[in-house]
Amino acid sequence: MAIKLNTTAVGHARDLISSGKVIRDTRDDWSEAAPSPEDENSFIEKHGWGEYAKWHLGVDTEKSEETKGRYSFPYGDFRNVRRGGIISLESRAAQNDHDDIAKATKKLLALIDDA
């Protein structure tokens, strides 16, 4: 597994934060706010894989571009960045030694909290 930081997704998240498209929820809220598999399928059907990828900070370059398994570390609900999602990702990335993703989540969290 070769999960790398998806820099396009980081830029997308920064743009959303700058535009005020942020829900300032808690980590505990993320479990209910995270998109369901049905939400993901609907989003992919309407917007395509490229847009789906922008909502995930991790990308496994060894997997096919048109599979959900390629994308990990989702940070939003396809409308807004979720603060609870970012917090959840930060600890999960750090626990799994994805230091570049953990560092990016810390920066995104700081942007949210400073806005």
Give the tens place of pLDDT for each residue, 64-100.
999 999 999 999 999 999 999 999 999 999 999 999 9
pTM score of the predicted model: 0.94
Cα separation values, 45 from 1, 48, 53, 101, Å: 26, 6, 13, 27
The residue ranking higher by pLDDT, 81 or 28, is 81
Burial 45-54 (b: 16+ CB within 10 A, else e): eeeeeeebbb
